[in-house]
Amino acid sequence: MAKANNQQSNLQSRPPVVVVLGHVDHGKTSILDYIRKTKVVEKESGGITQHVGAYQVEVGNPPSSRQGGTAEGQRKVTFIDTPGHEAFSAMRSRGANVADLAVLVVAADEGIKPQTKEVINLVTHLNLPFVVALNKADKPGIIVEKIKKQLADNGVLAESLGGKVPMILTSAKTGAGIDELLEMILLLSEMEELKADFSVPASGVLIESFLDSKRGPTATLLVRQGILSSKDAVATESTFGSIKTMEDFMGRTIEKAEPSTPVRATGFLEVPLLGEEWQVMENPEAAKARASQKGEIERKKREPAQILNISPEQKVFNLILKADVFGSLEALRQTLETISQQEVVLRVVLAEVGEIGEADVKLADSAKAKIFGFRISPSRIALNVAQRLGVRIFSFDVIYELVKVVREQMALMLEPEVVRQEIGQLKILAIFKRDGSRQIVGGRVTRGKAERGSFAEVQRGEEKLGRGKIAQLQANKIDVDSCQKDKECGMLFEGEPIVEKGDTLVFFREEKKRREL
């Protein structure tokens, strides 16, 4: 009993971890931008936040914690900003799994969208308390009751309609409603009574990772228990290391991080995998031993998928994928899996974070693969080697543009579709000369036109005998390119079927059309 009481006494209040969710372009990052007073929106490509970001801010206490209407200091709130594009579903799910509360951002001028419904299902499944931020509410013609009904139809009943979900009207442009939103977040966190044990070895969740060309494997860690210190030995499920540098979300060097604090740390042996739990160990040896227990299983997630049971009719498109962070890499692989592979199989030869280097180009050359980089650039040496070896390197900043080009490149391997276009019909009136597969015949055009160079299908009654080609065409003993309806002409027919008087020639062209996936 004494031990249980001692453990309870070690618990202290911690800041809430809040995930901001919603459909693309509904204003998630804009709201955070207003709160932080930092410009991150302008750095994004195509208006999409490309990977999870964590930020910590200080806000005033809610009314329930004030005396005489005056604030008693400031409280910290950690925000996790997640991507809105459909390709980042797994990343949004991870963000929600590490959060205590959620803010569902809905644009008042657009209402419920596909990702909005996905988020509602997610927070409901996780039983995550949330508040709705009805953003862009300052636009003219907004009908708030209409949005409330849409939300109610999707299982979200606002407090004003007798439900339990708070709704705040906001404008990321003017800042209207932002203070009320922050107060509501603090009120919800008070109700949740969020606590952590500050005395135990630090542990938490890894919410982002990438390979820094200068500093090596780098990860964003969210502390859930204990206090993380610089130089601590840390083990994840796939790797380990001793923290060399630790920074807050503003890039400032820090020595300690308390629960609910996000930090960017270096010193890992390899780039850890997203969503992994991490734990501070007694020493690097203990960290290595813990990581080794699950390391082999987790590292298999990095390996490219093996291709099995390929039919002779299928072709294989080899791809090397390099990305800035593991979140992007995960989302890319998830989206590429949706491409149809019935005729062309997509094989990811290598999928890694980090700069496109010389080794990648040489691997692409030996594997007959193309290199696709996402928010990453090839080194100068890699570019020179690629030019010499004839290896194609594609670079993109927006995920769906990369996927679009992958589809196009795969489609180039498909046999083109042959499209037949009929142009006319002729009745054979006379056979002038026959020499093997070459015949000189004459007839009258009964439909459309006859055209030199076109194909001709020989029909005898209802039977189709075969096809040939019009090598030469004459009208009034003069070479012509075409002969119109109701005109007579002579022609040199080249083909296997023997043409006889009374047969019909159907003229057509064949065009090869590039197919799409």
The residue assigned the tokens 């951002």 is 105
Q: What is the pLDDT of residues 390-407, one digit of tens each?
A: 999 999 998 889 999 999
Residue 4 gets the label, from left (phi > 0), alpha (psi -120 to 50) or beta, of: alpha
pLDDT bin (cut points 50, 70, 90) of residue 303 is low
pLDDT value of residue 295: 56
pLDDT of 297 over the 70 cut: no
Q: Which CATH architecture has domain 10-195?
A: 3-Layer(aba) Sandwich (3.40)
How many other C-beta atoms lie within 10 A of the C-beta of residue 202?
22
- For CATH 2.40.30.10, list the domain ranges present in the chain: 198-292, 417-513
Which pair of tokens denotes residue 341?
A: 């592979």
Please check whether residue 40 is in contact with residue 120, taking contact to mean a CB–CB distance below 8 angstroms: no
Q: What is the pLDDT of residues 136-186, one digit of tens each?
A: 988 888 888 999 999 999 999 999 899 999 999 999 888 899 989 999 999
Q: Helix or strand or coil: residue 372?
A: strand
Which pair of tokens denotes residue 483?
A: 């002969």
Among residues 330, 402, 415, the alpha carbon closest in space to that of 371 is found at 402
Q: Which CATH architecture has domain 417-513?
A: Beta Barrel (2.40)
φ, ψ at 408 (rounded to 5°): -65, -40
CA 8/CA 422 separation, integer angstroms: 85
CA 4/CA 8 separation, integer angstroms: 6
**Amino acid type, 76:** K
- For CATH 3.40.50.300, list the domain ranges present in the chain: 10-195
Domain 198-292: give its CATH code. 2.40.30.10
**Amino acid type, 62:** P
CA 369/CA 362 separation, integer angstroms: 10
Q: What is the pLDDT of residues 358-390, one digit of tens each?
A: 999 999 999 999 999 999 889 999 999 999 999
pLDDT value of residue 96: 61
pLDDT bin (cut points 50, 70, 90) of residue 431 is very high
Which pair of tokens denotes residue 3?
A: 């031990």
Candidates 3.40.50.1820, 3.30.450.20, 3.40.1280.10, 3.40.50.10050; CATH matching 315-411: 3.40.50.10050
15, 332, 336, 402, 453 from 87: Cα distances, Å: 30, 7, 10, 12, 49
Please check whether residue 417 is in contact with residue 516, taking contact to mean a CB–CB distance below 8 angstroms: no
Q: Helix or strand or coil: residue 234?
A: strand
Cβ-based neighbours of 323, under 8 Å, separated by 6 or more = 329, 332, 351, 352, 353, 373, 374, 375, 376
pLDDT value of residue 69: 37
Number of Cα atoms under 13 Å in the Cβ half of residue 49: 29
